[in-house]
Amino acid sequence: MLSESIMVRRQELDREKGFVWLDLEGGGDIALIEDLLRRRGWIGGRAKVEKIEQAGEGNMNLVMRVYVKGNEGRGESGRRMILKQGRPWVEKYPEIAAPWERVGQEYEVYRVIRDIVGVREWVPGVVGYDDGMRMLGLEDLGEGLGIDAFYQGKGMDEEEVDWLAGVLKRLHGAELSKEVREGLQNEDMRRLNYEYLFVQPLNRGGENDERLDGFEKGLLAVVKDLRRDEPLREGVRELGEIYMDVEGRGGVLLHGDYYPGSWHRPIKVRNESIRGRRGVLDWEFSFVGHRSVDLGVFVGHAAMSKQKIDVVERFLAVYESVGDSVMSGFAGNEVIRRLAGVAQLPIEKSDGWRAEMLVRAREAIVNGDWRALWR
């Protein structure tokens, strides 16, 4: 349910000339989408929109897949594209207000990435951007594995680990001008994320408390113990300061949310045919900051998806990092925020596993050792 302040903002937007809310209810308004795309030159004059549907989870934004037919001369027969519209709230949690400019920020990141060899090949091509509608058009990378598969035993082979580490290494190694650095601070999105990364999970009387014992019996008691752990709270506070540092300690371009939900992993059929192509998606959290943010998020999700420790060792070797205490802290914090916070993962109900992982995460933060997540 939308909060009262967001409802007021929505009513204001409804009165803006030329502004349209994209909608998937009832299959969506195909004629409206076709008209929007044609007037912006994103499809040809004779092309037709055949179908629209939801694309992926759509956690932050409304995301739809558009099927286009016709205009064979322009290569549009059977073409598909992705439309993203950011609204002044989080799409999955509409009671949470969110920066409305985030899709525009993502567009700016794509503009920077197009000059980074070894990264630009792995992001969707940009069809167009409409600032008035906060609408971004992107290439559709095709069929991919759902995020559920990652947490239900679908491991990563060496080639995929090498790819993920290589993309991140080249992203972090990109030379950025002063102008680009200043334009990619993304402070509004960082402030939003800060609350759910470093405050809400260990906040007494957290908004997610009533759900915790449903994931695992006795989990709330474990989380309450962590909230009384002063060394842990101090460690998380320090991580939050690094995350929000406007000077961008470490000074590299980050993805900002480098986890399986942001990776497009193509479906393989009979180990031969591949549907879709590989890619890294959802750059709205990107900013210039400490490289350990991205590294730690990867490590945390490798642990939560029960990958072997060898996966992380190989990832760090390709990236050329030994994994320091700061990275270890971000890895542990990612585990805590995902298992104790609002942004839960598609992990089945457990019997003691979540509690054990939270204790390990505490050790990774306090002792600065990411390997604690596998002990």
- What DSSP string runs through 52-67? EEE-S--SSSEEEEEE
Please, what is the angle between helix 158-172 and helix 292-304, to 10°?
Answer: 160
Q: Rounded mean pLDDT of the chain?
A: 89
Cα separation, 151 vs 305, whole angstroms: 5
- Strands of the 126-130 sheet, one edge to the other: 48-54, 62-69, 79-85, 135-139, 126-130
Burial 154-171 (b: 16+ CB within 10 A, else e): eebeeeebbbbbbbbbbb
* pLDDT digits 0-9 by tens, 1-42: 555 665 656 666 665 656 788 888 777 789 999 999 999 999
Pick from 290, 254, 266: which is nearest to 119 by CA? 254
- What is the pairing mode between strands 273-275 and 267-269? antiparallel
Q: What is the mean pLDDT of the segment spanning 69-88?
A: 76
For residue 344, the number of C-alpha atoms closer than 13 Å in the C-beta half-sphere is 16
Asked which of 46-55, 270-279, 346-355 is least confident by mean pLDDT, the reply is 270-279
Q: In sequence order, which ranges of 96-250 are alpha helices (DSSP H)?
A: 102-113, 147-150, 158-172, 178-183, 187-194, 209-215, 219-227, 230-244
Phi, psi of 282 (to 5 degrees): 55, 75
Least confident of 164-168, 201-205, 333-337: 201-205
339, 341, 346, 347: CA torsion to nearest 10: 20
Collapsing DSSP states into helix, strand and coil, what is residue 85?
strand
Residues 6+ apart with CB under 8 A from 224: none
CB atoms within 10 A of CB 77: 12
Identify the sign of the CA torsion 282, 192, 108, 176: negative
Q: Is the pLDDT of residue 283 over 90?
A: yes
Judged against a pLDDT cut of 70, whether residue 177 lies above it is answered with yes
Q: How far is CA 24 from the centre of its chain?
A: 21
CA distance 372 to 375: 5
Q: Give the pLDDT confidence score for residue 56 in this predicted structure.
A: 76
pLDDT at residue 292 greater than cutoff 70: yes
Exposure pattern of 312-321 as b/e (b: 16+ CB <10 Å)? bebbbebbeb
- 158: which 2 tokens? 């060496």
Quote the pLDDT of residue 117: 96
Q: Percentage of residues in the chain with pLDDT exceeding 70?
A: 89
Give the model's pLDDT for residue 218. 96
Say if residue 272's pLDDT is above 60.
no
Residues 6+ apart with CB under 8 A from 85: 21, 22, 61, 62, 103, 133, 134, 135, 136
Per residue in 98-150, pLDDT tens? 888 899 999 999 999 999 999 999 999 999 999 989 999 999 998 888 888 88
* The two three-digit tokens of residue 107, written as one number: 């567009």
pLDDT of residue 2: 53
DSSP-based three-state secondary structure for 337? helix
Full DSSP string of 199-222: IGGGSTT-TTHHHHHHHSTTHHHH
| Model pLDDT, residue 5 | 60
Residue 277's pLDDT band (boundaries 50, 70, 90)?
confident
pLDDT of residue 262: 94
Tell me: the pLDDT tens digits for 223-251? 999 999 999 999 999 999 999 986 655 58
Beta-carbon-side half-sphere exposure of residue 143 (alpha carbons within 13 Å): 6
Q: Check residue 244 and give its pLDDT.
A: 94
Assign 271 a pLDDT band (cuts: 50, 70, 90).
Answer: low
CA distance 100 to 67: 26
